[in-house]
Amino acid sequence: MKNGEFDFSDGAPERQRRTAPPARAAVPVAVAATATAATTPAVTATVTTSTATATATVAVTPTITAATADGAAAAQTAASARKAVGAAAGIAVHVAGLDWQAIAAELAAHGYAVVPGMLTADECVAMAAQYAQPALFRSRVVMSQHGYGSGEYQYFRYPLPSTVAALRQSLYGPLAAIANHWHEVLQMAPRFPPEHADFLARCHAAGQRRPTPLLLQYGAGDYNCLHQDLYGEHVFPLQAAILLSQPGADFDGGEFVLTEQRPRMQSRVEVVALQRGDMVIFPVNRRPAQGARGAYRVQMRHGVSRLRSGARHTLGIIFHDAQ
């Protein structure tokens, strides 16, 4: 127990800080920022996995888009392009073409950013099916046994599956630029190198050698308590989650929830609406906010509301490794 604020469950398989403070709901904010296709650039992306290095050059539109009438056609085009170059290289191209200035602005304004269609429908189905392949994972956690909620999740082992490795590697670079800006604003000393391999070397030197990307599985009645994913001394301040199941078809309920606690204020809640394949980027534990006297730290937690029916799978991408 630290200042009565964080509860570390004895015997927990990972060091995660989980609390469940009372909060009042606020209206959720949707992300909507687009770039025109007339200025579509060609992006070259390189992805190194445990077995190979893939390079691809594909025309992409830098964008964060809300759902539109052309959404289905755009998703089909993206899926076809992804198949042509392979999932890992296609993911890297997709990430390179995102409007990272808009993503940074959404994170600064609301504490999260949604990227629609980060994975295709086929990739979501294939990723969720990996939950039944125990050889891919280093550990399984039943949340009710540790007071984390209800449901379960599994941490991938090294080497990571190629899709997971591609997401972790390609997302890290642009997120590191945002993270460094946050730490500069908050006058926090740690800075993050541009390459994920260099940051992982820092983690491993401190004894954080266990991979943290994970698959989460929920059934009817399951939920995930508000928490922060902290696994040791070295913490990368941003993470991502991708919904692998379709709301309304595969499950009902089970909304992704964020809370933020500002100094001397009650907690604020965001319920983030996601569709299958959408990615939400959000802080691990804190983010900067601007006040009358300058920037200050806002404490963040995330969780999942109770699933009313069906089954829900989520892929979590955390960039620091665990002790």
Cβ-in-10-Å burial (0-12, 13-18, 19+) of 75 comes to middle
Q: Tell me: the pLDDT tens digits for 172-187?
A: 999 999 999 999 999 9
Could you give the percent of the chain with pLDDT greater than 90?
67
Q: Which residues have CB under 8 Å from 28's CB, separation 6+?
A: 270, 271, 272, 273
pLDDT computed for residue 17 by the predictor: 42
* Residue at 124: amino acid letter: C
Q: Could you give the CA distance from residue 52 to residue 35 in angstroms, rounded to a whole number? A: 33
Tell me: domain 110-317, CATH 2.60.120.620, correct?
Answer: yes
Q: Tell me: the pLDDT tens digits for 53-109?
A: 444 433 333 334 433 445 556 666 666 777 777 788 899 999 999 999 999 999 999
Tens-digit pLDDT string for the chain (323 aa): 333 333 333 334 454 443 333 333 333 323 233 333 333 334 444 545 443 444 443 333 333 443 344 555 666 666 677 777 778 889 999 999 999 999 999 999 999 999 999 999 999 999 999 999 999 999 999 999 999 999 999 999 999 999 999 999 999 999 999 999 999 999 998 899 999 999 999 999 999 999 999 999 999 999 999 999 999 999 999 999 999 999 999 999 999 999 998 777 788 899 999 999 999 999 999 999 888 788 889 999 999 999 999 999 999 999 999 99
- Torsion angle of the four alpha carbons 191, 113, 129, 249, in this order, in degrees rounded to the nearest 10: 170
pLDDT computed for residue 70 by the predictor: 53
| Alpha helices (runs of H) in the chain, residue ranges in sequence order | 71-85, 87-96, 100-110, 121-129, 162-185, 196-205
251, containing H or E segment: strand 251-253
